[in-house]
Chain A
């Protein structure tokens, strides 16, 4: 210890730059340790991933995605409420205040941009009238339409973003809007459906 300290404490002869002198302390051991450790890490990493057949990014993504799909299926199997509902069960939602409240909330966050705050229609069609572009506007029609969307016509699919039960509640909310005649309603589009 003492020796190496002395070595550092003597300025190097001939090293004088505008009055700046230099010591010659040894490289700190911990610093050298970091240096070699990171270099070795890099080498090992390179050998594993690029030479020894370690997983590529594509393979890692595939693994992760199939895990997510497995989780999805498991959740569906474990949660019977997520299984397809009968028409009666769906229609019951329209008179369930809690379901309508949740549906209204989902509608506020995701749908008003195109269907207007009251469902009167702006970019997308009016959802309060009795005209429907797609099918007949029953609960199950609306649920499946929200899920798959109409990507070519600018109605996004929502299956991935919104939980199935919340989509059902949103559909119930839409059904509950029927006949509300909001101001500035967009002209009817599609076919009139009379019950």
Chain B
């Protein structure tokens, strides 16, 4: 960078990388929304599973969530961070090479996810399904991003960092910690691993991660983006600097504790549930601090809400943020969770955040940025306004239908008559009841997708009017070196000291993490000797891996909560001991089908055989997909020795004898089940098929207790 006149630097921003990230976000956004509509269709009409392994709900739902979070939201966050950071720091990105590695590396990861998830290559941990080589790639690319970002901070031409940058720092630091800890696993093969944590540890770590993926991947970066683009779009000063200080630190410190609110009324020790609940409730105000600072920044510029589609999107996004951060604390109260958890209410809640807050922020930023980068005007404001309204109606339909579905089903589950019996003992009845609402959701999702396509057309037309010589923006910055923070005090001083700021952020997120997770690492303390269990047999392990591969856990829980309605329906509450060898845990987060923790021996094996191939031959109104390929695909007996030895290394007590003959034992187990089925009229060579292993696993659920 050459100096024009003494004390003035010429800075050329890298806008090309911003453009690339936006294009990727829009491309993968389209994929995420389309797959979203498909999975919504599959729940309304099971036929849309197409009897095809890689198109079934259990495999596509993780694809949808990963595409939405990491591909769509991720890329727009990177676009916004690269664009705003350079301008807020008056510096070009640290390294063009790192920017490119970051961009292409991230897109490769997404492609790897898009291939591996439909193939059933998954860890089975929600929002962290990608297998270990991809996890390592994510870590490396995140480090590249971090170096690039902090490198830019190091060569900044402004002393103090703006609140947007605070949020970016929190994002980068925390996501790294979350991703690394939650992905710790021992590989079995190139695309198969078992997480090091099991049972309640894994549950706690997974939802510490899962909730904070929402917090630090979908909230803090977007708050940072809001603090830059909203004041820019309305050209008004930010409402309150002190509010930003308070709500930033409160959010960063408190969010990390909130994970256990996904595990309320379960076997998780009471104290952890209580901490998760009270911190979630107390997060209401800190979250709303962000909303207030966003909305009140519009004071004196409300007329722009009428005329500017970009402002419409931002304001609706911030409002959606306010709604979901009110509903979140509400749902974290144990008694409310006992109604809402495992139902579609949670799905509705999440989508106000993702479609409303993340989606609308992303759309607003795209409409704002692309015309500026192309040095032109948006092709059609009225088309953008149409997008806004179509998408808004879509979100409203989505949310209302899922809220009603969730509450309806939740109430049906817990309805106990005056004779002390469940009023709806047949689970399917509670599903059939809400199918019409699933259909409404399809309409809502489709509207959102249509709105998105309107935007793509609008942006495409805008691109055609782009200035031919639209080069990177160049500015002159008066700069004679950073002035330093001498004489400053308090938070202002901290804003000039990036390293100290980053370290403090790290400490803030580590306190809650350590205090919550550490005590459960000593599992023995919590497992009553009476509730200890035998580990799964070799064939059952093979079946369990099929259960994970097919994504059965996205519809089935294995956790009977400490609630009368759960106990009456499914049996005694699940204990900590029962899942102590579960790498990963299978408590689930949604009950589209019934809980399976006690399904073992409930039905004859023939029942399962028929039910897996065609659930509707057993349960007429089921929405569960058909799994015909399980009856033709062969069990991988060969890898069982390796699998069991990895599990043993993680603490599952297998004897050397079992390890050495795992495949032989499994084949023998399979033969016994196959013989029984053949005796009942099943034909063909079935003793080496996946379905036998899966049946073995299902029949073992709830049957592993050690009887004195």
- Complex formed: what's the CA distance from A161 to B292 in Å? 51
Which chain B residues border A20 with CB–CB below 8 Å?
162, 227-228, 231-232, 237-238
Of the listed stretches B147-155, B276-284, B302-310, name the one at the interface; the rest are far from the partner chain.
B276-284
A178 within 8 A of B: no
Given A21-B237, A25-B296, the answer on whether A68 and B564 have CB atoms closer than 8 Å is: yes
Given A65-B567, A163-B421, the answer on whether A56 and B603 have CB atoms closer than 8 Å is: no
- Complex formed: what's the CA distance from A17 to B158 in Å? 8
Contact between chains at B278 and A61 (CB < 8 Å) = no
A180 to chain B, nearest CB (A): 22
B655 to chain A, nearest CB (A): 28
Given A38-B329, A113-B619, the answer on whether A50 and B242 have CB atoms closer than 8 Å is: no
A61 to chain B, nearest CB (A): 4
Of the listed stretches A94-102, A133-141, A150-158, name the one at the interface; the rest are far from the partner chain.
A150-158
Which chain A residues border B606 with CB–CB below 8 Å?
123, 154
Q: Mark B226-247, 1 if CB is under 8 A from A, else 0.
A: 0110011000011111111010
A84 to chain B, nearest CB (A): 16
Q: Mark A32-46, 1 if CB is under 8 A from B, else 0.
A: 101100110111011
- Complex formed: what's the CA distance from A46 to B280 in Å? 13
B433 within 8 A of A: no
Which chain B residues border A88 with CB–CB below 8 Å?
none
A-B contact count (CB 8 A): 163
Q: Which of B400-447 contact A (CB under 8 A)?
A: 416, 418-422, 425-426
B175 within 8 A of A: no
Which chain B residues border A65 with CB–CB below 8 Å?
564, 567
Contact between chains at A42 and B282 (CB < 8 Å) = yes
For B422, the closest partner residue in chain A by CB is: A161
- Complex formed: what's the CA distance from A75 to B216 in Å? 53
- Complex formed: what's the CA distance from A69 to B419 in Å? 9
- Complex formed: what's the CA distance from A154 to B605 in Å? 8
A85 within 8 A of B: no
B283 to chain A, nearest CB (A): 8
A92 within 8 A of B: no
Q: Which of B587-611 contact A (CB under 8 A)?
A: 601-607, 610
- Complex formed: what's the CA distance from A156 to B426 in Å? 13
Given A61-B567, A68-B564, the answer on whether A17 and B162 have CB atoms closer than 8 Å is: yes
Contact between chains at B419 and A75 (CB < 8 Å) = yes
Contact between chains at A46 and B274 (CB < 8 Å) = yes
Contact between chains at A23 and B239 (CB < 8 Å) = yes
A191 to chain B, nearest CB (A): 19
Q: Which of A8-54 contact B (CB under 8 A)?
A: 8, 11-12, 15, 17-28, 31-32, 34-35, 38-39, 41-43, 45-46, 49-50
Contact between chains at B573 and A71 (CB < 8 Å) = no
Given A60-B562, A71-B418, the answer on whether A160 and B568 have CB atoms closer than 8 Å is: yes
Question: Per a CB cutoff under 8 Å, which of B243, B246, B425, B426 touches A160?
Answer: B425
Contact between chains at A113 and B607 (CB < 8 Å) = yes
Given A12-B241, A42-B278, A60-B562, the answer on whether A34 and B568 have CB atoms closer than 8 Å is: no
The DSSP consensus for interface residues of chain B is helix
A6 within 8 A of B: no
- Complex formed: what's the CA distance from A123 to B296 in Å? 66
- Complex formed: what's the CA distance from A162 to B567 in Å? 16
A185 within 8 A of B: no
Question: Per a CB cutoff under 8 Å, which of B265, B279, B288, B604 touches A31?
Answer: B288
B101 within 8 A of A: no
B40 to chain A, nearest CB (A): 28
Which chain B residues border A160 with CB–CB below 8 Å?
421-422, 425, 568
Contact between chains at A24 and B241 (CB < 8 Å) = yes
Contact between chains at A41 and B278 (CB < 8 Å) = yes
- Complex formed: what's the CA distance from A15 to B232 in Å? 15
- Complex formed: what's the CA distance from A25 to B292 in Å? 11
Contact between chains at A24 and B279 (CB < 8 Å) = no
Q: Mark A55-71, 1 if CB is under 8 A from B, else 0.
A: 01110110011001101
B200 to chain A, nearest CB (A): 14
Q: Which of A139-153 contact B (CB under 8 A)?
A: 151-153
Q: Which of B271-303 contact A (CB under 8 A)?
A: 271, 273-275, 277-279, 281-282, 284-286, 288-289, 292, 296
A107 to chain B, nearest CB (A): 13
Which chain A residues border B270 with CB–CB below 8 Å?
49-50, 56-57
Given A43-B278, A50-B274, 4 additional A-B pairs, CB 8 A:
A18-B84, A35-B285, A50-B271, A69-B420
A-B contact pairs, 11 of them (CB 8 A): A17-B158, A20-B162, A34-B285, A50-B274, A61-B563, A61-B567, A113-B607, A123-B607, A123-B610, A151-B601, A154-B604
Per CB-CB distance, the 9 closest pairs between chain A and chain B, nearest first, are A154-B604, A42-B278, A72-B420, A161-B425, A35-B285, A17-B162, A25-B240, A21-B237, A75-B419
